[in-house]
Chain A
């Protein structure tokens, strides 16, 4: 009976969490920690969306995704206060950290762990890393990857991703810079603002819509790379890590939040309109802190209430993968690889703010959250008084520059900027209070410069997008509206040369060029001539999409209507023809005379064989190679010459077929 009682007592009193957990060498665990004021259900959606995209994109198997839930307290009020403290690299309490650790402890069953944080959750991933590496997890087994981080570092030299269009982080950066708090890590990618977030003060900051949905490959790749670098180190006691003790103080807070959080929710639901309470709390806190510490130091708290000036990072600044003009169906599509965008560090103010002497006013400068006083009491805030007034920092951005592209003046399309060159010169307006500029080409920032023009290498077969950021001496930035330039280096080629004329007359020379693009091309900026420029072909009008432009010596030369006539004569001993754009950019050219000691192909009728043209092979891009050409064959629906003879060639287009019958049997071309 006594033994039964002892066993019963043990089962009654002993905690149930003492059983050792297996910590597997194989496999990985990703712990996702959400940010503050996350809508109910968003943490769930974020975790599963990350898991889903990872499994779709990555080949890495055996990855467990855990939600390390960062709970909001007091309808966000507690989180805002905590965030403000964390911005200063301190913490109001470690309650949430302990909670996350206690909750994930039974779920982390692999030695290799990646902590993925978003927004305020990145403060916790940093802290979790520190805790875990001190409690059983080897450094080589754990890493941190933070998204949209307001923190100034990533623990363990981990990686991060922050968009330059993230309004929340931009606001925090601005306020931190003004208050002297450690600034968030510099933006290292430019993600376009998703539709609907242009006027959202949280725009560009959401885990799903602003980051993961727009950069799934990049984020999954970052996660995958971080996981692959992890090694299954030995743990101290076989468990993945040692969980913290739930101290009496922790349990008291647990009970307090268990009562207060639902109460706050009920108050919000019952008394105040849903979305206004958090803002009201935040606004109240901002007002209080503004009163206590000065407006500029209420940064982290104010982030949820203060809209970001739209001209700091305007919505037009986008990484332009989507083409402004439709992609020709036969053209190679732009590379699916997402451009990696590197944003340079935020420029430090050129003029350092100096304390101004002799102000009669006392300005309260700073606040320390929950400092320990010498008496052991813990005042809520310690106010630092009697210090000189510092003038309000300049947070007004300069005017945004206006960007233009020199080459767009010679665009092949009147609807959009279309150039056949991978080099373009960009210039922008001078901004009076700007001290430096930086260009952003396809999302990648260039070096800063004081110049207002730059020549850049563009990507072929793609729409290239460029914006220019102007910085003033205080480091404020304003970004131009982006400009787009579609580049296709060989939109027009010399496709067939009837240098030998026709059977009817050797003087009836003709020449054909072909539009390889899906757009109608203006010809006014093209020039077609021979190497010595003694022969020119006068373009006029447009070339239809995928169409042909036919030059003829006289209209009767072929049965096809010409687009233009020319008066000069091609030498039957050979010519090198050059097609240029904007006077100097060679778009296409035929083989040099020396290549074939004359025309490489085509036949001048000598009463034995038929006259034929020199025809470009389909898909041959290098016009200077003899292998790109052949002698012409008649079209399926043959063109005829002035004497109604079938032309051995396809002036005006059409598929060639059959053979050119020799005039004398037995002779072949």
Chain B
């Protein structure tokens, strides 16, 4: 009799352990997925934000020109200073206007590319966001290809990259993102290369 009761207790205990184990595993997976879904949602929001940014005519015409940033702050952080909050670092924006004071048509793709490149510092935290930023950079590049002769295109783009990646910390951040997150990708579909039809 006692043996029977003991065996039943054992069985009861075994089932409890099994059920508890399954529940615990399920719970762990759900928690994992909660975090994963959280990252996915965060990624989706970031990608939408990256692709949602758009150069406006005022940026190109200099209506919202930023003041000259404080030299002490301009390179103090990787993100730099963006007082007019148009996504283009102020020192880069001013340099582009200084180099091309008379041609909005020329400034437009350069500003577009500079803003996309700036997002390397502010938006990239995984492969999806890196690809989104790269797709925006490539749009800027292709847009510049409509303005600059092919022989000058790469040099012009390189000049913008030199402006944006002007410190060791920024260069490092740029390379780190690629080392960590670079993956295969293609062009973004259904979007014109140029934010503004000033190029037409």
Contacts and interface: CB of A to CB of B under 8 A. Distances in A.
Contacts of A261: 179-180
Interface string B173-187: 011101110111111
A49 interface: yes
B7 interface: no
Contacts of B187: 51, 64-65
Interface string A35-61: 000001101110011011101100000
A454 interface: no
Interface stretch (B46-54, B72-80, B100-108, B138-146): B138-146
Nearest to B144: A52
Given A12-B33, A44-B134, A53-B150, A269 B182 contact: no
Nearest to A33: B184
A40 B186 contact: no
Nearest to A261: B179
Nearest to A53: B150
Interface residues of A, number: 33
Nearest to A105: B184
B186 A41 contact: no
Interface in A52-104: 52-53, 55-56, 64-69, 71, 100, 103-104
B30 A67 contact: no
Nearest to A68: B184
Contacts of A64: 186-187
A48 B33 contact: no
Contacts of B30: 12
A463 to B, nearest CB: 21
A190 to B, nearest CB: 21
Contact of A66 (B134, B145, B179, B185): B185
B154 A107 contact: no
Contacts, number: 70
Contacts of B175: 40-41, 265
A19 interface: no
A100 B174 CA distance: 22
A100 B142 CA distance: 25
A66 B180 contact: no
B153 interface: yes
A76 B137 CA distance: 26
A538 interface: no
Most B-side CB within 10 Å, residue of A48, A53, A68: A48
A2 to B, nearest CB: 14
Interface of A: 9, 12-13, 40-41, 43-45, 48-49, 51-53, 55-56, 64-69, 71, 100, 103-104, 107, 208, 213, 216, 261-262, 265, 269
B188 to A, nearest CB: 11
B172 interface: yes
Binding site secondary structure of chain B: helix
Given A12-B29, A53-B150, A269-B172, A44 B138 contact: yes
A52 B176 contact: no
A181 B115 CA distance: 49
Contacts of B182: 40, 43, 69, 71
Interface of B: 26, 29-30, 33, 134, 137-138, 141-142, 145, 150, 153-154, 172, 174-176, 178-180, 182-187
Contact of B176 (A45, A51, A265): A265
For B33, B154, B176, B183, which residue has the most chain A Cβ atoms within 10 angstroms?
B183
Given A44-B134, A69-B183, 20 more contacts: A12-B30, A44-B137, A48-B142, A51-B138, A55-B142, A55-B145, A56-B145, A64-B186, A64-B187, A66-B184, A67-B184, A68-B184, A69-B184, A103-B184, A104-B184, A107-B185, A261-B180, A262-B176, A265-B179, A269-B172
Given A48-B138, A52-B145, A56-B150, A40 B184 contact: no
Nearest to A44: B134
Nearest to A269: B172
Contact of B141 (A9, A48, A216): A48
Contacts of B172: 269
Contacts of B33: 12
A335 B35 CA distance: 63
30 contacts: A12-B29, A12-B30, A40-B174, A40-B175, A43-B182, A44-B137, A48-B138, A48-B142, A51-B138, A51-B187, A52-B141, A52-B145, A52-B150, A53-B150, A55-B145, A56-B145, A64-B187, A67-B184, A67-B185, A67-B186, A69-B182, A69-B184, A103-B183, A107-B184, A107-B185, A261-B179, A261-B180, A262-B176, A265-B176, A265-B179
Nearest to B137: A44
A107 B184 CA distance: 9
B153 to A, nearest CB: 7
Most A CB contacts (10 A, CB to CB) among B153, B176, B185 go to B185
B133 to A, nearest CB: 10
A48 B184 CA distance: 13
Contacts of B154: 45, 49, 208, 213
Nearest to B179: A265
Contacts of A48: 138, 141-142
A65 B141 CA distance: 14
A630 to B, nearest CB: 45
B177 to A, nearest CB: 8
Contacts of B174: 40-41
Given A40-B179, A269-B172, A52 B184 contact: no
Contacts of A65: 186-187
